[in-house]
Structure formats: C-alpha cells, structure tokens
Amino acid sequence: MRPLHAKQPSRAALLSVCGHGVLLALLTFVGTGGRSISNEGSFIDAVIVPSAAEVPAASLSDAVIAPETETPRAPAPAVPQTPPPRASEQRVASAPAPTVEPDEPAPPSAPTESEPPPATATVVEVVPESTEPAQDPEDAAGRTEAADTAPAVAPAASPRRTLEPQEQDALRRRLSSWTGSLAGNATPTTMTWRENGAEYTAVFHPLGTADVMGMEQLAVEVTTERDGERLVTDLRMTRLAFSNFGQFVNRWDPAVGLYDDVIDGRFHSNTSFVVHRAGKKAPVFNGRVTVADVRDLTTVSDNGTGYLNRRKMFPAGIETRVRRIALPERAFASASTSQSQRFERDTVLTFHADGSVAWRALDTVADESRRVLGDEPFYLIAADDVALHVQGTVDGKVLVYSPRRIVITGDLLYADDPRAPHADDYLGLVTEGAVEIAEPALTGPGDLEVYASIYAGRRFVVREFRSRRSGVLRIYGSLTAGTLTASEPRYGTHIEFDDRLTTMRAPGFPLSDRYELDSSSGEWRTVTVQ
C-alpha cells in the first residue's frame, strides 16, 4: 500500500519504519499459522502513516478504506499511540485489500522548517466492517437481537419535481388515445406503456356517473421510476360530450366545400375536409382544429390558383392524425321520468317564452296541447319513424329527440341571453337520422337563428340550398353531424360556440368515447419504496 501522505522522513524514521515493517510481517506470519499473504485476498490490511505529531488524531480514522462493494459505515475511533500488539492479540482481517496499480512510488518530499521532524512511524490496523471489537458474549447477543428487531428507517422524500409542459402534453396524447374503452366502465382500469426508455403505469378511477347535464370524470394516477425513485403524478380527465365541439363532422362529403363560413369553438372531422376558394373569400376557424386523417384539407379554387393563408385560416392551430371519435349507435336512451312527453305522430312543437311548450299533429289543424316545462330537465320524445318540427323561444332545460328526423321551421331562441351570467336555458336536438332546415317558404327571408346543441347522426340538411340568398344561418351552441349538405347560396353559415357547453350539456345530450386531460397537479411526487 502507498502512504497516504508523501513527506520526506528522517534517516532515523526510515530505519524505524523498516524495523517495524519486519516486526509486523513476522507477527502476521505467526498469527496466520504460516499461511501465505498475497495482494489478492490478503489476510491483513495495514497502512503506515506518520505519527500523531504530524497528523491530527481525528484524521487517523480516515485511513480506513472500504472496498467499493461494502456499505459505508461511521468513521472508526482514533487509534491511540501504543506499541504494536502482541501476536496473540493481533486480529486477522478477512476483507480483501484494495487493488493498487503497480507504479513507482513518488519520492517523498523533505519536511519544511515549520514542521517538526517525525519521531517514529505508527502502524494503524485497518479493521474491515465485519470485524467487531472484543466484547462480552451476552452483550453481543443482546446487541444482535436489538439490531434484528429495530425498525427500518425510510429515507427522506426527495423534493417534488415539476411536470414539464412537454411531458404533460405527452401524457395527454397518450392517455387520450387509450381511454375510449373506459366509457361506461365503473371499475378502475390499469394501463402500462413505455416511452423514451421509461415505463409508465396509469390507474383510472371513475369519479361516479355524470348527471344528465354534467360530464363524466376520471381521476388518473400515473407512476414511473427515475434515478432510483418512484414518481407519481395525479391528473383528472373529462369525458367529452359532442356538444363540446363547435362543429363535429364524422365524414366530410367531398362534393361540399367550406366557403364563406365562420366557425368559433373547436372543430373536428374524422376525415379530411374541403375548402372552396373564390377570390379572397375563405373560411375562418377561430378554435382548435383536429382531423383524424393523414391529410387535413383539400383546396378547390374557381380558377385553379390562389394562395391559402393557413395561419390566418387556423389561428388556433390544426392537428392531424388524431384518434378517430366514433358516433354512438344509439344517441339517446329513453328517459324514465314524469318530466317528459311522447309523440306517436309527426308533430309541430312551439316553445313559448313563458316556459311552456305547445304541440299539435302535423297533418291536422286541431287545437294545441300545452305543458309547462318547469325547472327540471324536460324530454320531448318521438316514437320510431316520427318527425318533430320545432321553433319558438325556450325557457327551460329541454331535449328534443326523434330517432328519424327533426325539422327546424323557424328561429329557435332562448328566453334569456345565453351570454349573460346565470343564464340557464338549454336546448338539445338529437336524432340518429337527420336534422333539417325547412324550405324558405316556412323559414321566411333573412337570417335564421338557432340556439341549440344539434346532433344529427346521419346528416345535417339545408333544404333548397340552391335557392336565392336569404341571409346567414347562425347557430349559437354546437353542431354535430354524420355528414352535411351545402348551405349556399341560400345561407352563409356562422357557428358560434356556447361557452357554457364546456362544462354543461343539454339534458341527456350524447357523450363521446373520448376523455381529455382536464387538470393536473403539475408535478411529480416521490413515493418511498419500502
């Protein structure tokens, strides 16, 4: 072994060191019973250091060098300056000595004038961790039993780590692409995946079934390991209703192009869509746009040329290849409540601002029937193959449902301005078939305003759309359609999203199979592994 300090000793000190070295080797040979001593697996580790006059007593414990595989332990107490022990008292070390590269020893330097000359070299015995000082057997047994029964001390938790935005965005994309199978599942579900060499586990805990106007939510606990620590973050996801989109189209008709349209709120299409350019006119999407296709859009121009300013058209951005959102086979399950009215024949419905609804059969001129809607959600439900024709001013929370067809014959408005605080009027028009805008003879000239969340599973239709210009079809709420017809030249289209639909929906309005990240703790927390 090499000295821990390379200082030039005196001639007397060198002779003393040599003498002590010979004595130490002789004592070791006797103590080992004549066994040989080698560098590999040696029976004793000895370090020669200067005397206490040159090194403070507290630094002598630093001479203990444990192999890299051993567990660190508390420093050994300082060794008093005593003569070497007798052979009968010398203990044998069982741990191997540290490997030392064969190198020429550096010439020791001479002591400075400010340092006193060393007296005699001191032999310090290096005791490996497994060697214990001599002690009373009973005391040793007692200490062993106490060590076996002592509780393990958990390491202190590391500081919390920030969940970086790109990491949170990756979690959002990953979880949103997998949670469709959780729709309607009331038990926790576990999912595991690998990303960038790390394994992640997500456990989804349903937070109860949503009420007829609320959204379903999931609590999500995501776990991973990093730098030997287990990290956990908490997120919350919300199941989207189709009314969360300003406009949603399942399959875009390639013969129909967006032209002079304005769409506020989110826009989603399961296929690429068509933009029709003529002169400087082009549609504007004021919300986030997503397309479940490798392509986003196809451009059709009257003269075959023209620059499409995508940044101006999509100020909130556009994303392709997102997961497809499927339409449900059944958009509405029949409500079992006294707050409902069923219709067995094609019927005309007229809403009144006093909070009532009147109806009559389409093919008769009989007197109208009438009911007060009340404060609770109210359902107007048609039998199979029955069409409902609607118009008027809604004061209440209403769902109009027909498996076949709903026809809008005039303006549909709310009694209170939906933009005003505490506005609580909601209307949903839901069908697996078609929602249609009646012909100009019924709707009259000028703009047509529809305040509602619309779900047309098969098609949204503007009848006689090739007739002369009437005005603008203004939909305040949302529009979901399997596909749709053109509206021009009869109507330009302006869809304005009702911001209340971010957290609420019309009674019983269809939910999608998509969950999206709603909130996050924004950090990883460490969990102690016992």
C-beta of residue 501 within 8 angstroms of C-beta of residue 247: no
User: In this predicted model, what pLDDT tens digit does every residue of 238-255 receive, in sequence order?
Assistant: 989 999 999 999 999 999
Q: What is the pLDDT of residue 303?
A: 66
User: In this predicted model, what pLDDT tens digit does every residue of 338-351 receive, in sequence order?
Assistant: 999 999 999 999 99
Cis amide linkage into residue 489, ω under 30° from 0: yes
Give the contacts of 494 (CB within 8 A, at least 6 positions apart). Answer: 261, 262, 472, 473, 474, 475
Q: Indicate the pTM of the whole model.
A: 0.68
Q: Would you say residue 460 has pLDDT above 70?
A: yes
C-beta of residue 218 within 8 angstroms of C-beta of residue 520: no
469, with CB counted inside 10 A (0-12, 13-18, 19+), is exposed
Q: What is the pLDDT of residue 40?
A: 39
Give the contacts of 202 (CB within 8 A, at least 6 positions apart). Answer: 175, 190, 191, 192, 220, 221, 222, 223
Q: What is the pLDDT of residue 44?
A: 32
C-beta of residue 424 within 8 angstroms of C-beta of residue 374: no
How far is residue 293's CA from residue 254's CA, in Å, rounded to a whole number? 14
State the residue for tokens 């630094």: 59
C-beta of residue 243 within 8 angstroms of C-beta of residue 225: no
For range 372-391, the mean pLDDT: 96
How far is residue 476's CA from residue 413's CA, in Å, rounded to a whole number? 9
**According to the per-residue pLDDT averaged within each range, which of 106-115, 178-187, 221-230, 485-494 is highest?**
485-494
How far is residue 426's CA from residue 398's CA, in Å, rounded to a whole number? 6
Strand pairing partners for 413?
393
How far is residue 328's CA from residue 403's CA, in Å, rounded to a whole number? 13
Q: What is the pLDDT of residue 354?
A: 96
For range 12-31, the mean pLDDT: 47
How far is residue 432's CA from residue 504's CA, in Å, rounded to a whole number? 22
Q: What is the pLDDT of residue 181?
A: 64
How far is residue 276's CA from residue 260's CA, in Å, rounded to a whole number? 9
Confidence of residue 9 (pLDDT cuts 50, 70, 90): very low
Strand pairing partners for 476?
451, 496
Q: What is the pLDDT of residue 401?
A: 97
Q: What is the mean pLDDT of the chain?
A: 76
For range 420-424, the mean pLDDT: 92
| Helix, coil or strand: residue 13 | helix
Q: How many CB atoms lie within 10 A of CB 513?
A: 18
Q: Would you say residue 150 has pLDDT above 90?
A: no
- Segment (H or E) for 14: helix 11-31
Structure tokens at 454: 């619309």
Name residue 48's amino acid: I
Q: What is the pLDDT of residue 68?
A: 41
C-beta of residue 162 within 8 angstroms of C-beta of residue 523: yes
Judging by DSSP bridges, how do beta strands 356-361 and 397-401 pair with one another? unpaired
Q: What is the pLDDT of residue 513?
A: 86
User: In this predicted model, what pLDDT tens digit does every residue of 292-337 receive, in sequence order?
Assistant: 998 888 888 776 655 678 888 999 999 999 889 999 999 998 777 8
Confidence of residue 420 (pLDDT cuts 50, 70, 90): very high
Strand pairing partners for 454?
429, 479
Confidence of residue 5 (pLDDT cuts 50, 70, 90): very low
CA 334, distance to chain mean position in Å, is 35
For range 267-276, the mean pLDDT: 94
User: In this predicted model, what pLDDT tens digit does every residue of 512-527 receive, in sequence order?
Assistant: 988 888 888 889 998 8
Task: List the domain boundaries for the chain.
Answer: 11-149, 161-241+516-527, 337-446+459-464+500-509
Q: Would you say residue 197 has pLDDT above 80?
A: yes
Q: What is the pLDDT of residue 439?
A: 96
State the residue for tokens 């209340």: 500
Phi, psi of 100 (to 5 degrees): -120, 130
Q: Would you say residue 158 has pLDDT above 80?
A: no
Phi, psi of 22 (to 5 degrees): -60, -45
Span between the terminal Cα atoms of the chain, in Å: 40
For range 116-136, the mean pLDDT: 41
Question: For 403-418, b where at least 16 C-beta lie within 10 A, e where not — what string?
Answer: bbbbbbbbbbbbbeeb
From the list 357, 285, 294, 288, the residue with the least C-alpha distance to 321 is: 294
Helices then strands, each counted (H, E), the chain: 5, 31
From the list 368, 371, 372, the residue with the least C-alpha distance to 359 is: 368
How far is residue 386's CA from residue 492's CA, in Å, rounded to a whole number? 30
Q: What is the pLDDT of residue 180?
A: 67
From the list 262, 274, 318, the residue with the least C-alpha distance to 300 is: 274
Q: Would you say residue 156 has pLDDT above 70?
A: no
Q: What is the pLDDT of residue 276?
A: 86
For range 480-506, the mean pLDDT: 96
Q: What is the pLDDT of residue 56?
A: 41
When comparing pLDDT for 507 and 178, which is higher? 507
Q: What is the pLDDT of residue 530?
A: 58
Structure tokens at 160: 């919390």
